[in-house]
Amino acid sequence: MKPRFVLRAGNPWWRGPLLVSLAAVTTFVITAALIRWSGGNPIAAFRYMFINPLQSKFGFTESILSATPLVFTGASVAIAFRAGYWNIGAEGQLLAGTVGATWFGLHAEGLPPAIAAPGILLAGATFGAAWATVPALLRARLGIDEVVTTLLLNPVALLVITGLLNGPWRNSETGFPDSDVIAESAMMPVVWPDTRVHLGLVVGVFVTLGCWWFIGQMTGGLRLRAVGLSPGAARIAGLHVERTLLTTALVSGGIAGMGGASEIAGVAHQLTIGISSGFGYTGVIVATLAALSFIGSLVVALILGIINVGSFSASRALSIPSTMGEVVRSVLLITVVAALVIQKYKIVWKRREA
Amino acid sequence: MIDVIVDLVAATLRIGTPLLLAALGEIITERSGVLNLGIEGIMYSSAFSGIAAASYTGSLWMGLIVAVATGLIAGVILAFLTVTLGVNQHVAGLGLTLFLISISNTVNRILFTSDGGQVRVDPWKSIGIGGPIFDQYVFTYVALFVGAPLVWWIIWRSGFGLRVRAVGENPEAADVAGIQVSRTRYQAIMLGTVFMSLAGAFITLAYVGQFTINIINGRGWVALALVIFGRWNVGRCIVGAAIFSLVNAGQLQLRLVPAFADVPFELLLALPFLAVIVGLAVSGRNVPYPGSYLKPYRRL
């Protein structure tokens, strides 16, 4: 007996959600074993991870705060992947964005907030796009695989930050490798009173909606999708494939960089070595779980934000490793992409032909 | 001057060992038409599982076996996702890397660092066979004199290698010729992960002797780039690994030179990564990707 995959003709409406739920259950089973091993109660841990953040205003708004950078990186990855540009460098581009934002923020003393706040986001976006330029040019001009080059620039971006913080940007008061605090006028204002939710979230949501509108409604968006679906056909149709890839890559880097600026201007107010806890890589998870839909990536970013806040409170309350949240989201990624493929096929058990 | 050169060559061999091992594994995998972006995570988890097993059993050999077993399990997962299901290979591989790194860090916390400790073993020592250049680890000799020729032989001279190349270039034709495409790709992926896990095991069981967070530090991505630079050929990959490792060894030496004392060491650390990108930019035009690279195969 040998399994064979046969393409399904149609799908009843419930099969997708059912398989995704099955993927979620599988994720629970795998991570429950790990939680049990670390001496925690899995049921209690999952309550902390998924339910507790939703039960208090503090938990919910902290989840939104934690989702904010993922909104940016999710949109950044989704738009690149839609064009068939495999940008795995959102991490480095976000880090470059934090550098640009910090540089702007440290020099923004005396500027009115109406200039400084958009300015710092723009500085982040510019640096992010700049960081994406080399892989984008190599791909568009020489046809060099962007996966490796974007990946390799991620550790380099972190080294740039370490170098700046150990050198010119070392904290002038404490001497620690953290930058000075940026000018107050460049900080993102809080948009939800008595919480830490800041303007960066609103900007991120608008950027995402903008991408969604562009992809769906604009000619340029159509071009981008055509290049992503079939570069060969797009070229024959007379589209400038390379130019589209280049533009998309820069926009993608810019969005990721703006996400970095939003973290500097909205939360940290200074550059630190641990400014990004893998936001760029998690952006790939966000975009993939949302099946590259922009509206979907907002929802996924929120869910991952909840898991992030929840896993930290679970780790404090039950003394299980705080990295458990990362395990949950990566297992969820693997099981969900598997489920999304499986739903398209019917498994037929067939006798081996002689 | 001679001393410096000798140190440089010796360090190059040490630094190049894990890169060469991992690149050899990736060559076999990609020759079958599958990209393994799990390479970084496989090196990371094998580095961890190897030293964890070694510290519990007290045997480095046990550690090596567990590291390879980790690689094989990762290989089965990747093969199931990419070959059986045909999931997007970028997503499957990156997902595997994120999973393996996070689970290694979590288990590390559970077993070792929860009370502030760190896992250490007494690692394999280098074996001197005359002069500092030849004072290297067994892994280094094995990678260079057994691993590389073996992979070359497998790819170009063995029946298995012919099947791997066939399914990598044209799976439809291979299928018609009676080659089992899925099975061949499973085998290629898993043979590849064995090499990647050896690369990871080398780092903890021989090179460093302890496990710290972020221990692989992008070496998997460098190996991935070396495979493209080397155009899926063993010889060219050795050259690429040697150049990268020489730059890396060179920047370590430069730090000791007084004239470079003011250069931030982070800049020097970034040099090898930039060197790889420059290498790709110079030589990476029109590289002959395997014909069915990234394409899942399914009979219609």
A162 touching B (Cβ < 8 Å): yes
Res. A352: pLDDT tops 70: no
Whole-angstrom distance, CA of residue A115 vs CA of residue A101: 13
pLDDT of A90 reads 97
Angle between helices A57-82 and A241-263 (to 10 degrees): 160
Residue B298 lies in a domain: no
Residue that is written with structure tokens 């902390």 in the block: A48
pLDDT for A354 beyond 50: no
- To the nearest whole Å, the CA of B30 is away from the closest chain A CA by 14
Question: Do residue A163 and residue B264 have CB atoms under 8 angstroms apart?
Answer: yes
Spatial separation of the C-alpha atoms in residues A77 and A292, rounded to whole Å: 8
| Residue B276 is assigned to a structural domain of this protein | yes
CA distance A189 to chain B (A): 34
CA dist A283 and B16 (Å) reads 32
Contact between residue B30 and residue B93 where contact means Cβ atoms under 8 Å apart: no
* Mean of pLDDT values over A54-69: 95
Taking the C-alpha atoms of residue A214 and residue A222, their distance in angstroms, rounded to an integer, is 8
CA B82 to CA B93: how far, in whole Å? 9
Residue A51's CB is within 10 A of a number of other CB atoms, namely: 12
The 10s digit of each residue's pLDDT in B143-172 is 999 999 999 999 999 999 999 999 999 999
The answer to whether residue B299 is domain-embedded is no
Whether the CB of A313 is below 8 Å from some CB of chain B: the reply is no
Q: Which helix (H) or strand (E) holds A2?
A: strand A2-7
Nearest-angstrom CA–CA distance, B149 and B143? 9
- CATH number of the domain at B57, please: 1.10.3470
Residue B28 has φ and ψ, to the nearest 5°, of: -60, -45
A122-149, pLDDT tens digit by residue?
999 999 999 999 999 999 999 999 999 9
pLDDT tens column, A251-269? 999 999 999 999 999 999 9
- Closest residue on chain A to B99 (Cα): A330
CB-CB under 8 Å, A321 with B106: yes
What distance in Å separates residue B134's CA from the closest CA in chain A? 31
Distance of CA A181 to the CA centre of its chain: 25
Q: Which residue has the tokens 């390879």?
A: B68
Interchain contact A331–B (C-beta under 8 A): yes
A80 chain-B contacts, CB cut-off 8 A? none
Taking the CA of residue A282 and the nearest CA in chain B, the distance in Å comes to: 9
Write out the residue range of the structural domain in which residue B176 sits: 2-113+137-283
Are the Cβ atoms of A338 and B98 closer than 8 angstroms?
A: no
Main-chain phi, psi angles of A190, to 5 degrees = -75, 135
The residues pairing with A350 across neighbouring beta strands, listed in sequence order, are A2
CA A87 – CA A78 distance, rounded (Å): 9
Q: How many angstroms away from the CA of A220 is the closest CA of chain B?
A: 25
The confidence score (pLDDT) of residue A20 equals 86
Tell me which chain B residues have a C-beta less than 8 angstroms from the C-beta of A37.
Answer: 110
Across the interface, do B273 and A156 touch by the CB < 8 Å criterion?
yes
**Beta-carbon contacts below 8 Å between A and B:** 139
Mean pLDDT across chain A:
92
How does pLDDT run along chain B (300 residues), one tens digit per residue? 788 888 899 999 999 999 999 999 999 999 999 999 999 999 999 999 999 999 999 999 999 999 999 999 999 999 999 999 999 999 999 999 999 999 999 999 999 987 777 888 889 988 877 777 777 888 998 999 999 999 999 999 999 999 999 999 999 999 999 999 999 999 999 999 999 999 999 999 999 999 999 999 999 999 999 999 999 999 999 999 999 999 999 988 888 888 777 788 888 899 999 999 999 998 878 888 998 998 998 876
Q: Which of B99, B107, B114 sits opposite A330 (nearest CB)?
A: B99
Alpha helices by DSSP H, chain A: 15-37, 42-46, 52-55, 57-82, 90-106, 113-142, 146-166, 199-217, 219-229, 231-236, 241-263, 279-289, 294-318, 324-342
Q: Which of residues 88-107 of A touch B (CB under 8 A)?
A: 88
Residue reference for tokens 């390479």: B39
Domain count, chain B: 1
Q: Which residues pair with B135 in a beta bridge?
A: B128
CB-based contact B224 A151, cutoff 8 Å: yes
CA distance B190 to A343: 26
User: Which range (A60-74, A134-148, A156-170, B124-138) has the least confidence?
Assistant: B124-138
A18-38: pLDDT as tens digits: 888 999 999 999 999 999 998
CB atoms A334 and B217 under 8 Å: no
Q: Does A306 touch chain B (CB under 8 A)?
A: no
| Residue of A160, A281, A338 with shortest CB distance to B98 | A281
CA distance B50 to chain A (A): 19
Beta bridge partners of A5: A347
Contact present, A245 and A83 (Cβ < 8 Å): yes
Say whether B90 and A330 touch across the interface (CB within 8 A): no
Structural domain contains residue B223: yes
β-pair partners for A348: A4
Angle at A41 between CA A40 and CA A43, to 5 degrees: 140
Distance from CA of B216 to the nearest CA of A (A): 11
Half-sphere exposure of B80 (CA within 13 A, CB side): 14
Q: Across the interface, do B95 and A88 touch by the CB < 8 Å criterion?
A: no
* Distance between CA atoms of residues B250 and B6, nearest Å: 12
- Position A175 scores a pLDDT of 86
> Residue B120, class by beta-carbon neighbours within 10 Å (0-12 exposed, 13-18 middle, 19+ buried)?
middle
User: CA nearest A287: which of A244, A312, A266, A256?
Assistant: A256
Q: Which residues contact B247 (CB under 8 A, 6 or more apart)?
A: B271, B272, B275
User: With 0-12 CB in 10 A as exposed, 13-18 as middle and 19+ as buried, what is A22?
Assistant: middle
- Cβ-proximal residues to B117 (8 Å cutoff; 6+ apart), any chain: none
| Nearest Cα residue to A286 out of A311, A256, A320 | A256
Q: Among B245, B250, B275, which Cα is nearest to B260's? A: B250
Three-state DSSP string of A178-232: CCCCCCHHHCCCECCCCCCCEHHHHHHHHHHHHHHHHHHHCHHHHHHHHHHHCHH
Tokens standing for B227?
């495979």
Q: How far, in Å, are A136, A250, B35 from residue A220 at the CA level?
A: 18, 14, 31
A327·B106 Cβ contact <8 A:
yes
C-alpha to C-alpha distance for B51 and B120, rounded to whole angstroms: 7
At position A228, the amino acid (one-letter code) is G
pLDDT at A346: 75
Minimal C-alpha gap between A204 and chain B (Å): 24
For residue B129, being part of any structural domain is answered with: no
CA distance B190 to B29: 8
Pure H helices in chain B:
2-31, 39-57, 60-79, 89-111, 138-141, 148-157, 159-169, 171-176, 181-202, 219-229, 234-254, 265-283
Residues of B in contact with A281 (CB under 8 A): 94, 98
* Nearest-CB residue to B228 (from A145, A288, A341): A145
Top residue of B99, B101, B175 to mutate, by most chain A CBs within 10 Å, is: B99
Q: Is residue B128 part of a domain?
A: no
Q: Is residue B51 part of a domain?
A: yes
Closest chain A residue to B80, measured at CA: A338
Average pLDDT over residues A194-203: 96
Q: Give the residue among B227, B201, B202 at the shortest CA–CA distance from B284.
A: B227
Which residues from A are below 8 Å from B90, CB to CB?
A: 86, 88, 147
Inter-chain CB proximity B284 and A138 less than 8 Å: yes
Determine the residue among A5, A36, A131, A144 to mutate to test chain B binding: the one whose Cβ has the most chain B Cβ atoms within 10 Å.
A144
pLDDT in tens, A7-20: 776 777 788 788 88
